[in-house]
Amino acid sequence: MQKANSYTDMLNAMPAKIRNRFLSLAKFTYETVQEYQESHGIPKRKRLRRDAIQTIQVSVFVFVLRKFLEDGARATKYAVKTFESIGVKGFAVGETVFAGNNKNVQMGRILACKLERTIKETVLWSFIADAQSITELIDALTKEALILEQ
C-alpha cells in the first residue's frame, strides 16, 4: 500500500470545506508533534517520518469528526425535546424534519457508529477512543510511533 498516494488521494476526494478543516487540523497536529519531539529531546535524525505524522493527522481528524457527529446528535436530540416541551412536535431545516426519535434526529449517532465500525479493528482505535483531547491523542500517538520506529 502506498501511504503517501492514499493520503493525497484522500485529500483530493474531500469536499473543499472538509479538506480545509482537515488541513487546519493537520497543521496543528504537525506542529504539536514537532513540539513533543523537541520537548522530549528527540534528535532530528530520529524524528518521525512523514507517513507516521500523516497517520497521526488522519487519527486526529477521525477523533474530531467522531466528536462533531456525537455532539451534533446530542444537540439535535436536545432541540427536539426543547420543542416538545413547549408543545411543538419537531422542526425542519429545509425539507429535513427532526421529530421524536426519527432517523434525522439519530443521523449524527448513526454516522459516528459507522465511523467507529470502520476503524474499530485498527490499532489506532484504542488511542482515539481513550483520548480526552486532541493534544492528548497527538502526544499518545507520537510517543507510540517513536517507540515503534526505534
User: Residue 96: helix, strand or coil by DSSP?
Assistant: strand
Mean pLDDT of the region 29-55: 96
CB contact set of 53 (below 8 Å; sequence gap of 6+): 29, 30, 33
Q: For position 1, what pLDDT does the model report? A: 38
Residue 126 has pLDDT above 80, yes or no: yes
Mean residue pLDDT across the chain: 93
CB 80 within 8 A of CB 98: yes
499518545: which residue's cell?
Answer: 140
